[in-house]
Structure 1
Amino acid sequence: MPKIIYPSPGMKGELWRRSPIERMLAWHGTKRSRKRIGVFTKERSLQLFSPQQFRPLAGPDIPLIFLSRNDQRLLPSFLSHYRKLGVTRFICVDDQSTDGTAEYLSSQADLDLWTSRLRYKDARRGKSWRQELFQIYGSNHWYLNVDSDEFLIYDRCFEMPLGALIGRIEALSIRRLAAPMIDMYPSGDIAAAEFTGENDLMPWQVADCYDQDGYSVIRNSRFLRIRGGARKRLFGSDVDLMKYPLIFWDDECSLGENIHQPLPYQRNFSPIFGVLLHFKFFSDYQERVQAAIDGGQHFGGAREYVKMMQRITADSEVAFAYPGSVRFKEPRQLVDQGFIVSPFDGTEV
């Protein structure tokens, strides 16, 4: 297979188009994974916190499922962003926040707030919660499925709402939207990059930069494995960046072994129409890294956060910006730079 370059201006189908053998491997991989994982348990750990009565989805609803833990500062901009994109219902699991997150969310009329007796780690790092919510709210529906620090961006997203995007990808017989996380960070001194969520400020007005290069792509039988970005460059992180934040959930779907590789695998290969701007790096990031380590909820003993703390300890003034940093100004630049292709420019699958 030829080397895959990402980002790639003028991105073509070589990134997502597969040979008959690759398609067969994806089908067999799905079958093996289903057998290994087994049937999702119907035992429930979630309790509806607000409102008091469960509200089923209506046909035209565009719901968004997300998890949150002590992200109150991001929530006003998060909700505002997705409302502008056309989300009509928010469905959240609050992981025992202590910063006022639950109180803030319970005041939102278009939001269903759920809590759990389990913590994030015990809920298979949130996968059990998400699958339980899909089960509760129903199949054969489009959902957004993100975290509270992830902001979906696609070409013309502030002009063409999610309904138009869904209509376009349905016409292409696509059942889920591929969108890698792009780590955002401030162009200047991170100590001065305070984000409070006040004054209608969006997070990309503070953490305004991302890495334009340094990414790697491997197309395996399950998904497009994309790694790189600021966390890789600065902290040696090897986390998978690819996610599928917009998904048509039916009875064939499962989050499987890994939220980055949902089942069935055959649906994970399509044009990269979006990115998730990912906001972890503001002035208080060191305290949040330490809190993640102390909390013990993340994969492998929070090893990715341990890597970050080791670098911070060695160099307390980590410089995030570098010659390849680019400021985010508007969605079209991501098309021009080759991070995404436009769903509205006649892309062929």
Structure 2
Amino acid sequence: MPEAVYPAPGMKGPLWRRSLFRKCLTWYRTSRSRKRLRGIEQDQSLSLVSPQQFRQLTDSDLPLVFLCRNDRRLLPSFLKHYRSLGVTRFICVDDRSTDGSAEFLQSQPDLDLWTSSQRYKDARRGKAWREGLFRTYGINRWYLNIDSDEFLIYERCFENPLPVLIRRLEAQSINRLAAPMLDMYPLNDIAAAEFTGEDERMPWQIADCYDRDGYAVVKNDRFVRIRGGVRKRVFGADVDLMKYPLLFWDKDCSLGENIHQPLPYDRNFSPIFGVLLHFKFFSDYQERVQQAIDGGQHFGGAREYVNMMEKISANPDMAFGYSGSAHFSGPDQLVEQGFVAQAFERR
């Protein structure tokens, strides 16, 4: 399929129609990927920190699995947001945070905190941890699979919690929610966009803008690829934005070689019913970019962050806003603009 433009109203139509030949090719790609992944050892490095005794999930639980590395400022709003959407249990791997994240997480009664003897890079950039937790807590159930700087938004999400959305997905035989990352940023002086997490404000009240245009969509035989946004426009970072943060995990599932295209691939083709508001750009973003470079845990020797730092060094006072910047006002705005497909019947 030739390159298309995102957003497009509803993200439906030809983008999701696939011929029998393409479906067979997707099955073949899945089979090949599974063969390449054979022999990868299952993660044995995780240790439960709190609570002291492992707690099974109940049938009514909606668990959220996430990774954390020095995101203490985001954690109060992160937990508040997902509790409001119906999450009943948080399951976190803390990757040796030094900013008080682990101590804060241990104080949360609905959260299970794990650590690892490995670092993020050695755990297949966290995929081994996530898969290990899915096995530990049980398959054949829905999970949220999120990072601590990602906030899932979908149509009327504050009126329709996640169990309602899951029922809508199941009614359409969809078992994996497609939701691209939407990078958020302050319109004007980023140096003044301080977010500490010490008050009731949500991160989208500080970094409240996103790129309204400039995205490209290409459908291949493994997933729907979306690229663009402020990281592409300002830093030239051509990164994959598509993720699948809500998924039914069974014995056939794997995060594979790339979290942006989990296995089996045939589940990666469905309308986009949500987005992940992604928060990297506050007043301290330059410091955090340097920390990512120094940590050496990211793909390709943190190549994306190295390129970002080169742009920052050349223009430390760069502005993020442009004529296509849009202020975030709520979930329904994203439906109207075509970023998100309508999930519920109109009132």
Return the TM-score normalized by structure 2.
0.98
Residue 341 (structure 2) aligns with: 341
> CA separation in 1, counterparts of 2:251 and 2:125?
22
Answering whether residue 37 of structure 2 is matched by residue 41 of structure 1, we say no
> CA separation in 1, counterparts of 2:45 and 2:119?
10
Answering whether residue 169 of structure 2 is matched by residue 169 of structure 1, we say yes
> CA separation in 1, counterparts of 2:276 and 2:104?
24
Residue 108 (structure 1) aligns with: 108
Q: 1:155-207 CA distances to partner (integer Å, 9 max, x unpaired)?
A: 00000000000000000000100000000000120000000012211000000
Residue 71 (structure 1) aligns with: 71
Q: 1:260-304 CA distances to partner (integer Å, 9 max, x unpaired)?
A: 000000000001000000000000000000000001111101000
Deviation at 1:20, TM superposition (A): 1.2
Residue 150 (structure 1) aligns with: 150
Residue 84 (structure 1) aligns with: 84
Answering whether residue 246 of structure 2 is matched by residue 212 of structure 1, we say no
Deviation at 1:43, TM superposition (A): 4.5
> CA separation in 2, counterparts of 1:296 and 1:216?
29
Residue 330 (structure 2) aligns with: 330
> CA separation in 2, counterparts of 1:4 and 1:145?
27
> CA separation in 2, counterparts of 1:10 and 1:138?
33
Alignment partner of 1:83: what SS? helix
Deviation at 1:10, TM superposition (A): 4.7
Deviation at 1:16, TM superposition (A): 1.8
> CA separation in 1, counterparts of 2:304 and 2:111?
31
Aligned residues: 346
Correspondences of 1:289-328 after superposition (within 5 Å): 289-328=289-328
Residue 226 (structure 2) aligns with: 226
Deviation at 1:343, TM superposition (A): 1.1
Identity %: 71
Give the letter aligned to residue 154 of structure 1: Y
> CA separation in 2, counterparts of 1:145 and 1:44?
20
Residue 241 (structure 1) aligns with: 241
> CA separation in 2, counterparts of 1:294 and 1:101?
20
Answering whether residue 263 of structure 2 is matched by residue 257 of structure 1, we say no
Q: 1:241-269 CA distances to partner (integer Å, 9 max, x unpaired)?
A: 00000000000000000000000000000
Contact 2:184-2:280 within 8 A present in 1 as well: yes
> CA separation in 2, counterparts of 1:288 and 1:130?
24
Residue 13 (structure 1) aligns with: 13
Residue 200 (structure 1) aligns with: 200
Q: 1:93-145 CA distances to partner (integer Å, 9 max, x unpaired)?
A: 00000000000000000000000011111111101100100110110010000
Query: Higher mean Cα deviation, 30-39 or 275-284?
Result: 30-39
Alignment partner of 1:326: what SS? strand
Alignment partner of 2:92: what SS? strand
> CA separation in 2, counterparts of 1:79 and 1:279?
15
> CA separation in 2, counterparts of 1:259 and 1:11?
21
Alignment partner of 1:151: what SS? strand
Contact 1:17-1:270 within 8 A present in 2 as well: no
Contact 2:10-2:339 within 8 A present in 1 as well: no
Return the TM-score normalized by structure 1.
0.97
> CA separation in 1, counterparts of 2:106 and 2:10?
44
Contact 1:256-1:262 within 8 A present in 2 as well: yes
Contact 1:23-1:266 within 8 A present in 2 as well: yes
Gaps of 5+ in 1: none
Deviation at 1:4, TM superposition (A): 2.1
Query: Higher mean Cα deviation, 30-39 or 146-155?
Result: 30-39
> CA separation in 2, counterparts of 1:10 and 1:54?
42
Contact 2:275-2:340 within 8 A present in 1 as well: yes
Give the letter aligned to residue 133 of structure 2: L
Alignment partner of 2:9: what SS? coil
> CA separation in 1, counterparts of 2:277 and 2:184?
7
Give the letter aligned to residue 280 of structure 2: K
Alignment partner of 2:5: what SS? coil
Give the letter aligned to residue 265 of structure 1: Y
Contact 1:68-1:95 within 8 A present in 2 as well: yes
Deviation at 1:342, TM superposition (A): 1.5
Query: Higher mean Cα deviation, 139-148 or 36-45?
Result: 36-45
Deviation at 1:345, TM superposition (A): 3.3
> CA separation in 1, counterparts of 2:114 and 2:40?
19
Answering whether residue 139 of structure 2 is matched by residue 131 of structure 1, we say no
